[in-house]
Amino acid sequence: MIWRIEFSSAKFLPTLPEACQANPGAYGFELALWLAQGLCRQGVITGYPNGEDWGWCLEYEPADGPSFMIGCRSACQAGAGYLDAAVGWSVFIRERLSLERRIRNVCHQAELEALGKHIVDLLRTEQIEPGQIAS
């Protein structure tokens, strides 16, 4: 299962130049770091942001439950992050399933949606209203 939200904001624009990004227009470190810090304040402890070709991700692996990957990426053209204007963002959550759980078709929809609610609540504290939520 994948949970996804999309929204626009100028809050998470990149601070380092385009050449420092994973790929041109692949922003998301600032959003991922902000999410990691905000989730931590809510008691949801993730890892530090990890870079990917498409953006940035956080690993959420509680000791007593399923593990998830939270992906953060921009939805804009290269260079758009430096225009001091809102850009599109996408945040997704995907459960990391072991082979055994995939074979048995075990998923943790309630936990996935609870994690998504934490993210939506954090965005709303910044007056950012998600435009589209899908699971």
- Assign residue 12 the CATH number of its domain: 3.30.310
pLDDT at 63: 83
Looking at the whole model, is its pTM more than 0.85? Answer: yes
pLDDT band at 103, cuts 50/70/90?
low
Q: Is 8 helix (H, G, I), strand (E, B) or coil?
A: strand
What is the spatial distance between Cα 44 and Cα 14, in angstroms, rounded to a whole number?
Answer: 25
- Total number of domains constituting the chain: 1
Phi/psi class of residue 84: alpha, beta or left (left: φ > 0; alpha: ψ in -120 to 50)? left
Strand partners, 88: 8, 75
pLDDT at 108: 74
pLDDT at 102: 59
Q: In the chain, count H helices and then E strands.
A: 3, 6
Contact 87, 13 (CB under 8 A): yes
Cα angle, residue 90 at apex, residues 86 and 3 outer, rounded to 5°: 150
Q: Which domain holds residue 115?
A: 2-134
pLDDT digits (tens, 9 = 90+) for 56-99: 999 999 887 789 999 999 988 889 999 999 999 999 999 986 66
pLDDT at 3: 87
Buried b (16+ CB within 10 A) or exposed e, 5-19: bebebeebbbeeebe
pLDDT at 106: 63
pLDDT digits (tens, 9 = 90+) for 17-64: 998 888 888 999 999 999 999 999 999 999 999 999 999 999 999 887
